[in-house]
Amino acid sequence: MIALAAYRDALSRIEAPPGLAALRRTHLRKFLQAGLPDRQHEDWRYTSLAHLEHMPLHAPLAPTPALLALEAYPGELRAWLDDRPVQQDVPPSAVLGALADVIGAGALPAFGSLAPDSALARLNAALWREGASLRVPAGERLARPVFLRFAAAAADAMLHPRVFVHLAEGAEAILVEHFLGDPGIAYWQNPVTEIALEAGARLTHLRLIEEGPLATHTGLTAVRQERDSRYQALNLTLGGRVTRHELGVTLAGPGAEARLDGVFIADARNSAEQHVRVVHQAPHGTSRTLYRGLADGRGRGVFDARAEVQPHADGSDARQSSRNLLLSPQAEIDVKPQLVIHADDIQCSHGATVGSLDEDALFYLRSRGIDTAGARQLLLEAFVEEALGLLDAAGLRGWLMPRLLASLPRARTVEVRP
């Protein structure tokens, strides 16, 4: 049973922007008719959101006083706590502002048109609050990365961060989205980010899920790319009880390029799911999907990726690679790579493997005097490194690596042979 009252109550307290009120009600009505997705749905067969129905979910009225400390970010930061902006001292600029204001002013015609009509995207469309808007004018290049930090601090909060990114022709930017929350509470983040890249625009997008161990995260990123634009993404899932990211990329203009990298770590009893959909609509598009997955304890990972080359998207090049490591006998990772081809003269490949840590390599390192924990660490770092190529170009290695290394599963005590 869905907590109808909670959703209706959340909606009743949203005013801005006024023009969207009717649309929000429609979205909520359709969401309530369909309910939360369940395992009957093919794309949801690995995920259960049943626990959400037993939580007293609510949209927090005001930011909780227990403010999560704001760490330093190497760029321009906008932060939200429980869906409320916390850094009021930074004036909104034409480039980076509140989404509600931008829509209220009549801008962003594409808003809402990129995300799919899924139940959770509808819920977000009904209940998002201020949101964030990043608009880079034609030919401009943002000097510093933009960080959007979405944190949860109220127990049983249900949060619907909404981001709209528009890069005009030839514009360039680096965007980092960081999702996190109080480790001691259960909450649900259901963010939606829409990204429109005009001809020749270039976006590097790092998305970091670092939720608390009791948190649920059901995120969606929808990207539309025009001619010769380039979208480079690094999706990292380092924490959260139930986490799921859907990434949909449409190569709408000829010669568009998408590079989709990712690392996910599912330990304890966590589940971490990656669903990637790439659609080649125009000729000579290139897509590269490269994910590395780690599961430890009773963790469960899912890598589900589909690249579709539509008719007339001739000369497309679509490649997928997914390598996964199981670090304990109870860990599990399901991989589902798919290529659907309807055009000619295509280059496609996909490879997906699930294995365990190479015992021979471990022994080799230990025989040089490196202890088991150190040897494992070296091998795990090397394993994920293959997917981290974007960090250097984006200048984000120094910011990200300590977080990533701290999240790598620790070595358990090893049995010493008598």
Partner 1 sequence: MLEIRNLHVSIAGKPILKGIDLSLRPGEVHAIMGPNGSGKSTLAQVLAGREGYEISAGSVRYLGRDLLPLPPEERARAGLFLAFQYPLEIPGVANAQLLRTALNGQRRARGEAEIDAFDFLEFVQDKLALLGMDESFLYRAVNEGFSGGEKKRNEILQMAVLAPRLAILDETDSGLDIDALHVVARGVNSLRSNERAILLVTHYQRLLNFIEPDRVHVLAGGRIVRSGGPGLALELEAKGYAWLADAQTVAQTVAEEASP
Q: Interface residues with partner 1 (CB under 8 A)?
A: 358, 360-361, 363-372, 374-375, 378-379, 381-383, 385-386, 414, 416-418
User: What is the nearest approach in angstroms of partner 1 to the Cβ of residue 293?
Assistant: 15
Cβ-based nearer residue to partner 1, 56 or 374: 374
Give the distance from CA 220 to its chain's centroid. 6
Which run of H or of E encompasses 370?
none
Closest approach of partner 1 to the CB of residue 410, in Å: 17
- Alpha-carbon distances, residue 219 vs 95, 177, 202 (angstroms): 24, 11, 22
Query: Pick from 297, 341, 347, 305: which is nearest to 323 by CA?
Result: 305
Q: Rounded to 5 degrees, what are φ and ψ at 66? A: -65, 80
Distance CA 35, CA 38 (A): 9
Q: How far apart are CB 361 and partner 1 at their closest, in Å?
A: 5
Report the alpha-carbon angle 236-254-117, nearest 5: 55
Is the CB of 313 or the CB of 365 nearer to partner 1? 365
- Sorted by sequence, the CB contacts under 8 Å of residue 71 that are 6+ apart come out as none
Q: Which is nearer to partner 1, 121 or 375 (CB)?
A: 375
Calpha distance 198→189 (Å, rounded): 29
Distance CA 199, CA 170 (A): 6
3-state secondary structure (DSSP) of residue 249: strand
Of 9 and 363, which CB lies nearer to partner 1 in the complex structure?
A: 363
Nearest distance in Å: CB 413, partner 1:
12
Closer to partner 1 by CB, 93 or 367: give it: 367
Return the number of the residue (360 or 392) whose C-beta is nearest partner 1: 360
